Copies of this chain bind each other. A is one copy, B any other.
Amino acid sequence: MTKPRNAFYAQSGGVTAVINATAAGVIETARKHKRHIGKLYAGRDGIVGALTEDLIDTSAESPATIRALRHTPAGAFGSARFKLKGLEQNRAEYERLIEVFKAHDIGYFFYNGGNDSMDTALKVSQIGTALGYPITCVGVPKTVDNDLPLTDCCPGFGSVAKYIAVSTREAAMDVASMARTSTKVFVLEVMGRHAGWIAAAGGLAGTRAGEAPHIILFPEIAFDEAAFLARVKQSVDTQGYCVIVVSEGVKYPDGRFLAEAGSRDAFGHAQLGGVGPVIAALVKDKLGYKYHWAVADYLQRAARHIASKTDVNQAYAVGKAAVEYAVKGMNAVMPAIIRKSSQPYRWVIEPVRLADVANVEKKVPRNFITAEGFGITPACRRYLSPLIAGEDYPPYVDGLPDYVRIKGKSVKRKLKTPFRI
């Protein structure tokens, strides 16, 4: 029998409503595999916690706390926007990781993130081998952008999709109620800098012809101002109002982001973000309609209160599978969600190779977008609809969701060498 080794888990990149459900899946499953896994450490603030030897001892957290992570949004252990460079550019960072892992007898590395993180997990597995410190690396998918290949969807996306679909439906009803004497055009800006999956989810809000949203602007489709304005006018003429869902990543034909071309602040500086107000101002300027705009920003990816039950279940399942793969000795893999059928939605978790996932970006395919470029097709609806199915409400106290906070007990440092990030 092999001696159990410790494990390291880190959250990476933009957090989601369900990344902690994945953490719960990892931790609860690791606790069931004491023959293989000793302590499970988490990086405080993600990979930064590993580099700086700032580790959290998850064994200090009660079973109730870990269970509550399932309904708690954001990154309970802290996440980081910190991309390790290539092995050639910054080998020192990878060597430092291995140094910390060695000091704490870490034999398993679970990295919970998107494209960049899958690439990092792969590289750590390679450098471990090269440095004579083999480590089992499993990438655990997470990204609201839904842009990882080989998996049906990415945990985190289903809940944002549900939030945007619900919010679009609700706001559209508001606008429709008052369009005769008030706002005629409503613009909702959503996340998705390169892939329009979240914008596409807005399309689920309406189910019949003429229902909102009347226009979706995808980053996959170059912005055609004339066609856009014609459609806004047509929608107002026929429906009395127009609801637009716009991805933050929409670009002009020359590749510039609309958001960049956008507004300037009182000091004349270019405002970052804000394609929503740019689109609204364009409509006002060219067509004269009264408008409103909303930018959901972090609200959309933190909205655990309206999480998709499917998404929560999948987020937990990939965490659980990651540990099961690791204790079987499967290295450089990622648990992927494989769709078996759409109606009813059936899925299983299967391993895919990190090498096949890293640095591949899955955009919204052209056949998911209507011919004129402003809506979603029935095929897209069939794909998206199961991902927002089911509600999974958190408990409430005094009218507010009762989210948990971890104790976050620090693991005693073993290295003398500091590391500056």
Contact = CB atoms under 8 A, between A and B. Distances in A.
What is the count of identical protomers in the complex? 2
Given A80-B180, A294-B298, A263 B271 contact: yes
A363 to B, nearest CB: 23
Nearest to A293: B297
A281 interface: yes
Contact of A48 (B82, B167, B181): B181
Interface string A184-221: 00101000000000000000110000000000000000
B171 A298 contact: yes
Interface string A307-326: 01010000000000000000
Contacts of A103: none
Contact of A265 (B78, B281, B304, B306): B281
A81 interface: yes
A97 interface: no
A14 B178 contact: yes
Contacts of A170: 17, 73-74, 298-299, 302-305, 401
A132 interface: no
Contacts of A302: 167, 170-171, 173-174
A262 interface: yes
Among A178, A262, A301: residue with most chain B CB under 10 A: A178
Contacts of A73: 170, 173-174
A263 B285 contact: no
A169 interface: yes
Contacts of A389: 398-399
Interface string A232-272: 00000000000000000000000000000111111101010
Report whether over half of chain A's contact residues are helix, strand or loop; otherwise say mixed: mixed
A75 B299 contact: no
Contacts of A166: 305, 400-401
A354 interface: no
23 contacts: A15-B174, A75-B178, A80-B178, A80-B180, A80-B181, A82-B181, A162-B399, A165-B399, A167-B299, A169-B401, A170-B298, A170-B303, A171-B302, A264-B264, A269-B281, A269-B285, A293-B295, A294-B297, A310-B399, A388-B398, A388-B400, A391-B396, A393-B393
The 6 closest A-B pairs by CB, nearest first: A75-B177, A388-B399, A294-B297, A74-B173, A265-B281, A170-B302
